[in-house]
Amino acid sequence: MMKPKEQARRKYGMPLLVHKNRVNPELEKELLAKIEQLEKEYLWISANEKSLKRTHLDKYIAVKNNQVMFESYDFEALLKVIIASKENVDSFAVKRVTKDTPCLLL
């Protein structure tokens, strides 16, 4: 018999905290793996900035497995294409390729 909290997690996919700041170990493993994968994708984008500027200038790109899987000038259109392809939106590194290094004032 599953505990109510475990039932809720399975039903709603809730990140169940096992302690004040600690995550359920099973979920922790899964989320850490996702972060590691995305970190690699963003590093790949940084490493290939020059070639991406040549081929995808001014576009939003969605990168997975070191490949540009989807691209669009419009972010919402890109989002729709990803959703239509039944891929997980969160599994892509998304970035807008601009000519110059963006100057931020945060």
Binding site for another protein (CB under 8 A): 12-15, 17, 20-23, 27-28, 31-32, 34-36, 38-39, 42-43, 46, 49, 60, 73-77, 79, 89-90, 93-96, 101-106
Compare residues 1 and 22 and give the one whose CB is closer to another protein: 22
Closest separation in Å from C-beta 67 to another protein: 18
As a whole number of angstroms, the distance between CA 7 and CA 43 comes to 37
- As measured in angstroms, the least distance from the Cβ of 72 to another protein is 9
Q: What's the rounded Cα separation, in Å, for the pair 12 and 34?
A: 19
Rounded to whole angstroms, the Cα distance separating 20 from 56 reads: 44
User: Minimum Å distance from CB 66 to another protein?
Assistant: 16
Both structure tokens of 63:
């990168």
Residue whose CB is less far from another protein, 3 or 22: 22
Distance CA 79, CA 70 (A): 9
**Closest approach of another protein to the CB of residue 81, in Å:** 13
Alpha carbon distances (Å) from 46 to 39, 52, 56, 66: 11, 9, 14, 11
Cβ proximity to another protein, 1 vs 54, nearer residue: 54
